[in-house]
Amino acid sequence: MPECPEVHLAGRFINRACGGLVFAGGVERSAVGRGPEVPFRSEAYRISAIARGKELRLTLSALDPAAAPPQDLVFRFGMSGSFRLCPAAELPRHAHLRFRTRESPPRALCFVDPRRFGSWRLGDAWQQERGPCVVSEYQAFRENVLKNLDDKAFDKPICEALLNQKYFNGIGNYLRAEILYRLKIPPFEKARTVLEAVKDQVQKRRKKDPSLRLSKKVKLMQKNPDLLELCHAVPMEVIMAEKHLFDPEHADNYANFKNWLQCYLVPGMSSLRDHNGRTIWFQGEPGPMAPTGQVPQKTPCKKRAQLKADPKALTPKVASRASKRCPRAAATPPKSDEKEEGEEEEASGPGKGHARRRRRVTPAPALPEPEVLLNTKRSRQRSARKGRGTVPAL
C-alpha cells in the first residue's frame, strides 16, 4: 500500500536516522529479493535518500571518493516495502537488502518487503513512464496534466485516471478515494470532463485578477481547491501530520491513520471494483461510467468489525424455543447449566429431552406410613401365608 506520503516519509527517516552513521562492507542481498546484486563495497560510506512519487533513490557515497565511486539504487515499494534500522544481530524477517554500520555492535538499514512486490534497480534514473511528483514537483505535475487532456488516458473514469502514474505520480488507492470524496466527485465520472472544468476554473481566476499575489492565490486555493490542488494537499496532510500517521519510527500509529481517513474503508461508505479490479470507496452515486452488473457494497459498521475481532463474540448462545416464542423469556434471569441443557435437548427432540430430564429429577423423600396402615399390612401378610382367604383391599 505505500503511496507517495509513505515513500517520502521513508526518505525523511533514512536521512534523519542515517545521516550521522558510517556504513562499512558490502551490501547484503537475500536469495529471494527482487533486485540485482549491488556491486558496491567500501570500508566507510554514507547513505542518503530522495523520494519522487512512488520511487525512492538511495545514494551510497564512500568517505574516500578515490576508493569507490558513488552507487545509486532506485526502489519501488510494491505493496509492503519499507525501511528499518535495527541491530544487525536481530534482523527482521523479509529483509531483502541490508546495509551494515561500522559501529560496535553494528546495526543494519534493511529494505523489508514481506510480499516481495517491491524491487530495486541500479542507477539514478527514475522510471521513464512516471510523470512529475504530486508533492515535490507540484507545478510541473499540474502543467503536465492540463496540457495533455487530449490523451486517451482521460477517456476513462476519473478514479482510474488518478492511478495513472504517467500523470498522477504518487497517487494510490486510498489517496484517490479521499480526494474525490472531499470534492464530492463521483468516482466514475469521465476524467476529461472533471479536468476540463479545472482548466476552465483556472482561466476564470486569471481573467478576474491576473496580478494576484502568491499569498492570495494560496488563500483562494485553500477555500476552493480543485482536483489537482488536492492531489498535492492531501498527501501533504499525511506527511506533515503531528501524529506521524505513517512514519517508520512510529509504526504503531495505524489507529491515527484510520482516524484521519474520511472515506477509504470508512464504515457506511459504498465501494465498487473499477475496470481494473481495484476497489474504490465513495459516497453517493458512482457516476455514469460505473461497471455494469455490479451493486455498490456498503462498508460494514464498526460493531460488526468488533465482533469479527472478538473471538468470544463469534460463539452465539443457543436460544430455546420458549425464549423465541415468548419475549418475556429474555427478561428472565439466567438459568443454571443443567436447565439450559435440558431445554436444548427438548428443542432437538421431545422424546429424548423428556426422558433425559426425568432421569435427572431427584425423587422426593417418602413420607412415613401411619401405624394403622402398617398393622393392617402385616395382618394381611400373615393371613395370606395361612391360606385363610383374601383380605379385602383398603
Active site residues: 2-3, 54
CB atoms within 10 A of CB 161: 23
Report the C-alpha gap between 170 and 10 in whole angstroms. 14
- Residue 280 host element (H or E): strand 279-282
Q: Which of 61, 262, 245, 80 is nearest to 178 (CA)?
A: 262
What are the DSSP calls for 319-370, one per residue? PPHHHHH-GGGGGSPPPPHHHHHHHHHHHH-HHHHHHHHHHHSPPPPPPPPP
- Residue 47 host element (H or E): strand 41-52
Strands, sheet with 279-282, edge to edge from the N-terminal-most edge strand: 279-282, 270-273, 297-298
Contact call for residues 11 and 50 (beta carbons, < 8 A): yes
Report the C-alpha gap between 62 and 149 in whole angstroms. 45
Sorted by sequence, the CB contacts under 8 Å of residue 308 that are 6+ apart come out as 314
Burial 280-296 (b: 16+ CB within 10 A, else e): bbbbeebbebbeeeeee
Provide the phi-psi class of 334: left if phi over 0, else alpha when psi is between -120 and 50, else beta: beta
CB atoms within 10 A of CB 332: 10
- Residue 124 vs residues 44, 71, 127: alpha-carbon distances, Å: 21, 8, 10
**Which residue carries 473471538 as its cell?**
311
Backbone angles phi, psi at 298, to 5 degrees: -85, 135
